[in-house]
Chain A
């Protein structure tokens, strides 16, 4: 922290009473304060308010202040706001909203002071955080080291917590400012004031309301508190302004407080006490701990409460004086005099840690990110995984961020050294791994040995075994596909790159098997990356991930390998059918269409070159020891038709040079599938000057628009439409070619050009 710069804090809460106490106190300590102007306008925040009282004293540019005033700090932090707050602010005080905690953890470089005010009995902040943000979020919090404080409003809250919430606890007591008005309680309105908001919206408050109504059915009463859904009780006051509520408190005879939570208490009993209103409250709640144990207004049973309330309603002056006189003890621990010294001492500790330049051990080296290929793939999936690793490295370098990237792939015989030369050349180290299962007992031991988190119960998990330390030297795992055999042990935050949910559109793929592990993998990821909006929708609608965890990243293709001269002529007399042995590739429909195409076009028909992994197996002339049912079917179909045998040429998977040559000399590319995430081949073909005829589905539409591929689209189910398009493509390929984008245009969308954009999405998870 610079000594010339004033200390500035974000005080990201909109609680009026709390603000009245804490903001002046912080200002006394010489802190400039920013107060948020946008809060969630939902039924739970009806009494929240905004204040501009600190704006004048804030020495930051007005444009930055205006940008912050437009921003909702409760839901996330945009790159622009990230820059502003990191430029100007040292501290952030915030209430407990999990999404806000996540956003600040991932974006704010200053000190985070969370303000816990206590949860219901049996709940802990650790458990709620893990349930909302995932178990591995604890790792992100731990990494903050000295930059995080659990600024508890009551000194015992951390006693039931673990990990970072326990070891970083500091007491910042909850205070109550003196009332604005000197007016005192007069009473006279012989009714009980019972504050119970949100009866129509919260089952918790509804239960309290019904219990109160039952217990005090023969008393007259008023129900205070905002009612966001109208309820049919004429005694409910609904939302009142501050002044009106105070007026009601002043004239109503007695307040009853039901709360028996040990870790949480509401403000209104203290507000009543502060104006001298008699308070009758239930024993064993937090008021006991705040000096209420021996007060005359305390009631151990409802019957006792009824008796005491009856005396007050009957204007038993002696008893009222006794209650009111003694209950002032409750305010002692909330008074400025009591709170200031504690705040002073503890705030100094926070400031010292803010200035402490020694970072926690975990962040003394550059952040290390592992890009992992979860299952042994070749083809497009392997390409994408490698490009992701390259983009991370390149993007971080462009942004001057210190990051190490490692690439991990499964032990499998399908890979050779050559497959990863490009990564080695760019200084990306390689590892091989396999998924190792952890029994629930083993995971429980891991959890206990890790010390830092509570973790889930009896689940079975997998961990990536790299032969060293299970990839735990890496701070973030980025999985290039979701194909994991079981849920991943929550030892590190991970980001999942989802290609597609083919099984959603092609049910035959998995049959009756439901892929729980893939879906769980998405739900527990810190973020899910997709490269098409369609895949993004699938992640939300099918995998059930909230939209704010899904990130659309630039779709990229590796074009370096096709940099040779593009085909200039009309191409040889063939088109390329790009496919593989996947069951969703509509082989039989394509073959039937080819047969009719040859029959209708005759001599003018083009030959067909078939490329793709394992497509040699489709050739009936090629030996195939144990063909799958699909391969057998295709071989039989081709074998029985002389025209197909004669005019189809099966290449299989080609090396880069041959692939460029075969595609580059084709008249067009034919691509026919039920669904996938769009074929990269269409972009490569366009780069080589060859247009694409594709089946019509959303990701290919997206790719065609993004890269301006001028794809032509065939109806998914109509054979006649496929044949018609084949005939037209054959006739018009020359003119069609001219619609293709230039190489310069495509280069501008290559992975190098969009690396920093990609890194910007990832960097906040790799703080």
Chain B
């Protein structure tokens, strides 16, 4: 069976091993390992080079995957690559500027020293004649010096003036308004970080993407795959591929939190409409959990139940990133190594933060919620709970997150008002290895999300490095756990007191919680990524059979 995977990421997207990116890595590896299929991965031209490398990080078997992309990149993208390459080139512009600056500084210092020596020589004369003789060169050179000063000063003054005008323009109201309105133009729940947030550039990229997708569809239709798969519903154009199509719909969380999104992230309306358009035009869909399948696709969007499949994802393990082999005390070595990764991150990323730059993380105890800041993540209630945990229940822990707290005004205002700036710390742009380290050193993983498309990854990720979880009592979680462990690890996400109580209990009985959750994980681990891939192969067969009944 030949399966095509359609990846329509826009230009300048940075592929990360988080969320969707990681899911894609696992699934492609699972499919590639299965002998049942051969795979074609169709990408835009700008991912021709990066996508194989991104997927190869997981050690894909070569030979069973073929990468296809439009042959030539649009000029605009090439131009961007050229500029960025030049900008990031080590020792070029930066080096040149540094060298010029250094040379100038040296010259100025030299001139000052020369002037000082000369003045000293004049002033230390012991006779009037000597004084006059020594002064003569200065008198002779005076007109020349005045002219030189004017010639030097005029361009400097003009440059300064130009810079000042540019600065004013940059912060002028219309420009600031335009920027503020268009800055959050990001694919919010795609976990992809766009390289450019400039509105004009974004509009250009969108246009380029549209053109590119036409070429991609043409290529797809030449490939004659048995079925095509898209890992997200962001790309309605995928439905133009002739043949069997399976589109994954991770979730539609903005429609669960419409007011919140409408106020804070209005641009998401367009994204949601793209998803809805895909769903309306597509045929077969797969979700991670029953909730999205039943509530969103079948009930809300009216997709017939027989066209909706659910494949829960397999647990994620992160332990290989920090497990130290070959030492006499692997537990100690792992902790030390994890700590060193966190401290290295501090040394690189926290240098401009007075509090964090010399903070010792060697013995810090904290609870950890690795998440982007999104309306469904329920951060405000978590912060209220944390305030209770620290100040009423006296638990000595900090709260670490991976999203940018500053990006959400309401959250950052709350943190300042409750003077929690020293307690709630965010770690951004963390690598998989650092993520594993942060999980490992945490006392507890806390997931306060009000809505998830499937059972949260945080549970297995934490346990894989020895950290138990407490989390919101969601239908997706209950469905998996049943009543087992419910009272010990689940909280009502709308009740900060209850969140604080469950966290406090988790901290006090961490080992008991860990032991019980590891048993649950064993059950989880019966489902690995190969199983997930096999299940997808079954679905592909099923939809092929439906299309071509014997």
Q: Report chain B residues within 8 Å CB of A582.
A: none
B392 x A534 contact (CB < 8 A): no
Q: Report chain A residues within 8 Å CB of B333.
A: 41-43, 228
Q: What's the Cα separation between A503 and B418 when bound, in Å? A: 11
Q: What's the Cα separation between A594 and B72 when bound, in Å? A: 83
Q: What's the Cα separation between A540 and B390 when bound, in Å? A: 14
CB distance from A51 to the nearest CB of B (A): 15
Q: Report chain A residues within 8 Å CB of B433.
A: 200
A534 x B358 contact (CB < 8 A): no
Q: What's the Cα separation between A41 and B391 when bound, in Å? A: 37
A534 x B326 contact (CB < 8 A): no
Q: What's the Cα separation between A505 and B362 when bound, in Å? A: 23
Q: What's the Cα separation between A232 and B29 when bound, in Å? A: 15
A-B pairs, 9 with minimum CB distance: A544-B359, A507-B419, A41-B329, A547-B363, A537-B396, A42-B336, A546-B360, A228-B324, A239-B326
CB distance from B144 to the nearest CB of A (A): 36
A226 x B326 contact (CB < 8 A): yes
Q: What's the Cα separation between A542 and B416 when bound, in Å? A: 16
Interface residues of B (CB under 8 A from A): 59, 320-330, 332-333, 336-337, 344, 354-355, 358-365, 390-392, 394, 396-398, 416, 418-423, 433
Q: Is A266 in contact with chain B by the CB < 8 A criterion?
A: no
Report which residue of B344, B354, B394, B420 has the largest number of chain A beta carbons within 10 angstroms of its beta carbon: B394
Q: Is A519 in contact with chain B by the CB < 8 A criterion?
A: yes
Q: What's the Cα separation between A507 and B416 when bound, in Å? A: 10
Q: Report chain B residues within 8 Å CB of A546.
A: 360, 362-363
B327 x A42 contact (CB < 8 A): yes
CB < 8 Å neighbour of A544 from B332, B360, B420: B360
B337 x A43 contact (CB < 8 A): yes
Q: What's the Cα separation between A511 and B359 when bound, in Å? A: 22
Q: Which residue of B lies closest to A506 (CB)?
A: B391
Q: A42-B327, A239-B326, A514-B422 are in contact. List 11 more A-B contacts (CB 8 A).
A: A41-B329, A201-B324, A229-B323, A523-B360, A541-B364, A541-B365, A541-B397, A541-B398, A544-B359, A546-B362, A547-B363
Query: Assuming the A-B contacts A228-B333, A229-B323, are A716 and B392 also in contact, with contact meaning beta carbons closer than 8 angstroms in the complex?
Result: yes
CB distance from B492 to the nearest CB of A (A): 20
Q: Is A338 in contact with chain B by the CB < 8 A criterion?
A: no
Q: What's the Cα separation between A200 and B437 when bound, in Å? A: 13
Q: Report chain B residues within 8 Å CB of A228.
A: 324-327, 333, 337
Q: Report chain A residues within 8 Å CB of B423.
A: 504, 542
Query: Assuming the A-B contacts A46-B327, A505-B391, A519-B355, are A540 and B364 also in contact, with contact meaning beta carbons closer than 8 angstroms in the complex?
Result: yes
Q: Report chain A residues within 8 Å CB of B391.
A: 505
A229 x B396 contact (CB < 8 A): no
Q: Is A510 in contact with chain B by the CB < 8 A criterion?
A: yes
CB distance from A136 to the nearest CB of B (A): 15
B325 x A229 contact (CB < 8 A): yes
Q: What's the Cα separation between A186 and B94 when bound, in Å? A: 48
Tell me the residues in window 149-177 of chain A with beta carbons closer than 8 Å to chain B beta carbons: none
Q: What's the Cα separation between A203 and B418 when bound, in Å? A: 38
Q: Is A698 in contact with chain B by the CB < 8 A criterion?
A: yes
Q: Is A15 in contact with chain B by the CB < 8 A criterion?
A: no
Q: Which residue of A lies closest to B421 (CB)?
A: A514
A542 x B394 contact (CB < 8 A): no
CB distance from A445 to the nearest CB of B (A): 20
CB distance from A86 to the nearest CB of B (A): 29
Report which residue of A229, A230, A520, A697 has the largest number of chain B beta carbons within 10 angstroms of its beta carbon: A229
Name 24 A/B residue pairs within 8 A (Cβ), A-sorted: A41-B328, A41-B333, A42-B324, A42-B327, A228-B333, A228-B337, A229-B320, A229-B337, A238-B326, A503-B419, A504-B422, A507-B419, A514-B355, A516-B354, A516-B355, A520-B358, A523-B360, A540-B360, A540-B396, A541-B398, A542-B422, A544-B355, A544-B361, A698-B394
Q: What's the Cα separation between A538 and B390 when bound, in Å? A: 11
Interface residues of A (CB under 8 A from B): 40-43, 45-46, 200-201, 203, 226-230, 232, 238-239, 503-505, 507, 510-512, 514, 516, 519-520, 523, 534, 537-538, 540-542, 544-547, 697-698, 716-717
Q: Report chain A residues within 8 Å CB of B420.
A: 507
CB < 8 Å neighbour of A41 from B332, B361, B396, B418: B332
B363 x A512 contact (CB < 8 A): no
CB distance from A576 to the nearest CB of B (A): 26
B325 x A230 contact (CB < 8 A): yes
Q: Report chain B residues within 8 Å CB of A46.
A: 326-327
CB < 8 Å neighbour of B327 from A43, A238, A510, A697: A43
Q: Report chain B residues within 8 Å CB of A537.
A: 396
CB < 8 Å neighbour of B362 from A41, A227, A547, A698: A547
CB distance from B504 to the nearest CB of A (A): 13
CB distance from B59 to the nearest CB of A (A): 5
A510 x B419 contact (CB < 8 A): yes
Q: What's the Cα separation between A200 and B354 when bound, in Å? A: 30
Q: What's the Cα separation between A229 and B336 when bound, in Å? A: 13
A42 x B332 contact (CB < 8 A): yes
A717 x B392 contact (CB < 8 A): yes
CB distance from B47 to the nearest CB of A (A): 22
Q: What's the Cα separation between A46 and B336 when bound, in Å? A: 13
Report which residue of B326, B332, B398 has the largest number of chain A beta carbons within 10 angstroms of its beta carbon: B326
CB distance from A496 to the nearest CB of B (A): 15
Q: What's the Cα separation between A349 and B325 when bound, in Å? A: 43
A43 x B421 contact (CB < 8 A): no
Q: What's the Cα separation between A716 and B394 when bound, in Å? A: 12
Q: Report chain B residues within 8 Å CB of A512.
A: 416, 419
CB distance from A705 to the nearest CB of B (A): 15
CB distance from B443 to the nearest CB of A (A): 11
Q: Report chain B residues within 8 Å CB of A514.
A: 354-355, 421-422
CB < 8 Å neighbour of B336 from A43, A510, A520, A540: A43
Q: Which residue of A lies closest to B328 (CB)?
A: A41
Q: Which residue of B lies closest to A544 (CB)?
A: B359
A42 x B419 contact (CB < 8 A): no
Q: What's the Cα separation between A42 and B332 when bound, in Å? A: 7
CB < 8 Å neighbour of A203 from B344, B358, B416, B422: B344
CB < 8 Å neighbour of B394 from A229, A239, A697: A697
Q: Report chain B residues within 8 Å CB of A227.
A: 325
Report which residue of A201, A239, A519, A716 has the largest number of chain B beta carbons within 10 angstroms of its beta carbon: A201
Q: What's the Cα separation between A503 and B364 when bound, in Å? A: 19
Q: What's the Cα separation between A545 and B333 when bound, in Å? A: 21
Q: What's the Cα separation between A201 and B362 when bound, in Å? A: 17
Q: Report chain B residues within 8 Å CB of A523.
A: 358-360
Q: What's the Cα separation between A555 and B327 when bound, in Å? A: 41
Q: What's the Cα separation between A232 and B322 when bound, in Å? A: 14
Q: What's the Cα separation between A504 and B394 when bound, in Å? A: 10
Q: Report chain A residues within 8 Å CB of B361.
A: 544
Query: Assuming the A-B contacts A43-B333, A512-B416, are A545 and B360 also in contact, with contact meaning beta carbons closer than 8 angstroms in the complex?
Result: yes
Q: Report chain A residues within 8 Å CB of B330.
A: 41
A42 x B337 contact (CB < 8 A): yes
Q: What's the Cα separation between A229 and B318 when bound, in Å? A: 12
Q: Which residue of A lies closest to B348 (CB)?
A: A203
CB distance from B173 to the nearest CB of A (A): 28
CB distance from A255 to the nearest CB of B (A): 22
Q: Report chain A residues within 8 Å CB of B422.
A: 504, 514, 542
Q: Which residue of B lies closest to A519 (CB)?
A: B355
Q: What's the Cα separation between A526 and B164 when bound, in Å? A: 48
B390 x A229 contact (CB < 8 A): no
CB distance from A122 to the nearest CB of B (A): 15
CB distance from A696 to the nearest CB of B (A): 9
Q: What's the Cα separation between A512 and B421 when bound, in Å? A: 10
Q: What's the Cα separation between A226 and B325 when bound, in Å? A: 9
CB distance from A133 to the nearest CB of B (A): 13
Q: What's the Cα separation between A226 and B23 when bound, in Å? A: 31
Query: Assuming the A-B contacts A503-B419, A698-B394, A717-B392, are A540 and B363 also in contact, with contact meaning beta carbons closer than 8 angstroms in the complex?
Result: yes
CB distance from B424 to the nearest CB of A (A): 13
Q: Report chain A residues within 8 Å CB of B326.
A: 46, 226, 228, 238-239
Q: What's the Cα separation between A540 and B396 when bound, in Å? A: 9
CB distance from A189 to the nearest CB of B (A): 24
Query: Assuming the A-B contacts A514-B355, A538-B396, are A229 and B324 also in contact, with contact meaning beta carbons closer than 8 angstroms in the complex?
Result: yes
